[in-house]
Amino acid sequence: MEQRFTFNQVASVYSASRPDYPEALIDDIVSYAKLKPDDTVLEVGCGTGQATKSFATRDLQILALDPGPEMVRTARQTLANFTNVELVEATFEAWSASKAVFQLIIAAQSWHWVSPEVRFPKAAEVLSPNGSLAVFGHVPVGLPTSLLEQFKGIFLHHTGAWGTPPEAGYLPSGPFKGWFDESKLFGPVEHRCYSWMRQHTTSSYISFLCTRSDVRMLSPAIREELLEDIAKAIDGQGGEFDVDYETHLYIARRVGHIS
């Protein structure tokens, strides 16, 4: 199973444990793209609708794609009060554009899952002239030192591996700006960072780990043992802790003639 499809197995947990996006980020994207009410937005990989609902409140017309049937089902519940959102169960690669034109494409924690040969050419194809592409994601950047060392030991013990979290690709050292530049289909990329903090309990952090693609790919037995030891470590520190987060945005406008 491809890693991107593992999220579908934990849609309800994903919805409950994944954080929303900073309002300042949403406002900056809307302003950059010069959106007006009823302008059209395509979302690639909407998941359970965390980012979708923030854009939906701006009275935009949103077409949201996701390949996971359970993700789409949960998103329908999340977005039940919005009449300006259409949900489609499909990958961006398989979705039929049908000459659709959008003022904005957004991808929250999802752009890296799209096939490299498809993502920028197809985005440019369905964007209006000077339409914008916004790619963004959360990165946990600060755990309490004592827990960090314990987590490292637990992961090494159970998996033999410890490294940066999967989300670290959204940092400026990651590939996103380079991908935009290499496509030659978009103008200069603007990067913005939004810092915030989230308090986790033992339960909420275990739920969050259950939605991480690297943890989902473990065998059930190893995953259960790893999560049990992580829970014990957090309980040993009082059962709650703060995590520093950054949300990184990469946004650019489509340029040039698209054949």
Q: How far is CA 250 from CA 95, 106, 134, 159, in A?
A: 23, 10, 6, 32
Q: Is residue 17 pLDDT above 70, yes or no? A: no
Which residue, 50, 176, 32, 206, is CA-closest to 104? Answer: 32
Mean pLDDT within 110-136: 96
The contacts of residue 217 (CB under 8 Å, 6+ apart) are 3, 6
Task: Provide the whole-model pTM.
Answer: 0.86
Digit-coded pLDDT (tens) for 182-199: 999 999 999 999 999 999
Structural domains of the chain in order of their starting residue, each with its CATH number:
3-142+166-198+244-253 (3.40.50.150)
